[in-house]
Amino acid sequence: MNDTFAAKAANWDNPDKVKMTKKFVSELLFHINLLPTWKALELGTGTGLVGLQIESFVKKLVLEDTSESMLEVLRQKLDKNSKVEILHGEIFDYKQQDIDLIFSAMAFHHLPDIEKTLQHLATITKPGAWVVIGDLVTEDGSFHNFDPIPHCGFDTTVLSKQFVQAGFEVKLVKIYNVITRITNDTTSDYEQFMLIAKRL
pLDDT of residue 185: 84
What pLDDT sits at residue 1? 60
- Could you tell me the pTM of the whole model? 0.94
What structural domains and CATH numbers belong to the chain? 9-199 (3.40.50.150)
Secondary structure of the chain as H, E, C letters = CCCCCCCCHHHCCCHHHHHHHHHHHHHHHHHCCCCCCCEEEEECCCCCCCHHHHHHHCCEEEEEECCHHHHHHHHCCCCCCCCEEEEECCHHHCCCCCEEEEEEECCHHHCCCHHHHHHHHHHHEEEEEEEEEEEEECCCCHHHCCCCCCCCCECHHHHHHHHHHCCEEEEEEEEEEEEEEEECCEEEEEEEEEEEEEEC
Q: What is the pLDDT along the chain (200 residues), one digit of tens a residue?
A: 676 676 677 788 999 999 999 999 999 999 999 999 999 999 999 999 999 999 999 999 999 999 999 999 999 999 988 999 999 999 999 999 999 999 999 999 999 999 999 999 999 999 999 999 999 999 999 999 899 999 999 999 999 999 999 999 999 999 999 999 988 888 999 999 999 999 99
The confidence score (pLDDT) of residue 44 equals 98
